[in-house]
């Protein structure tokens, strides 16, 4: 995970110091910094960083990274959506199912995707449920721990075993 974190730092730095208008341009800048990656990986990284494009007037658009304050406000909003809509959680070896209040599935699914949970690879939302696919090697317990870290006051009462990799 250290490589990914270093790459995300490099992307932030490059977008703050250059007016980057395309992913191809950013890939070249990253390659010059020693990061060889695919366009698909870059797209996932840009999504994780909440990168957007802003107008540069007549010269087109360029990528921008939200400020820390904007990022915190966004995370607060997603946490609020989770608290508002969450009903219950269960999982198996591959999928976490979050039951939500009717009409809240979309907002809770968007929150799950945008909060960047390391244990998931994506989610599909219905009207009153969210199905989050677990990343290879991750467990429902890992996701529940991350959920409680991000939204500590969520009404989630689980007796979780210690995190994997910890001494018992």
pTM of the model as a whole: 0.62
Q: What is the mean pLDDT of residues 71-79?
A: 86
Q: Other C-beta atoms within 10 Å of 71: how many?
A: 13
CATH topology of domain 69-150: Gyrase A; domain 2 (3.30.1360)
pLDDT given for residue 30 in this prediction:
95
Q: pLDDT class for 166, splitting at 50, 70, 90?
A: very low
Where along the chain do its domains lie?
2-64, 69-150
pLDDT, one tens digit per residue, over 101-140 is 999 999 999 999 888 888 999 899 999 999 999 999 999 9
How far are the Cα atoms of 102, 115, 147, 168 from residue 126, in angstroms, in the given order? 9, 19, 19, 38
Residue 165 has pLDDT above 80, yes or no: no
Q: What is the CATH number of domain 2-64?
A: 1.10.10.10
């Amino acid at each position: 995970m250290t490589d990914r974190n270093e790459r995300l730092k490099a992307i932030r730095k490059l977008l703050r110091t250059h007016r980057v208008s395309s992913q191809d341009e950013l890939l070249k800048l990253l390659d010059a910094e020693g990061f060889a990656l695919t366009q698909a990986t870059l797209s996932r990284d840009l999504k994780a960083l909440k990168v957007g494009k802003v107008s540069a007037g007549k010269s087109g658009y360029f990528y921008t990274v939200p400020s820390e304050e904007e990022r915190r406000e966004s995370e607060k909003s997603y946490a609020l959506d989770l608290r508002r809509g969450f009903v219950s959680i269960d999982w198996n070896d591959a999928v976490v199912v979050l039951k939500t209040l009717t009409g809240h599935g979309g907002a809770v699914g968007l929150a799950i995707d945008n909060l960047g949970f390391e244990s998931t690879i994506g989610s599909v939302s219905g009207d009153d449920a969210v199905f989050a696919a677990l990343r290879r090697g991750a467990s429902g317990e890992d996701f529940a721990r991350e959920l409680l870290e991000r939204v500590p006051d969520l009404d989630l009462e689980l007796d979780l075993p210690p995190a994997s990799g910890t001494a018992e």
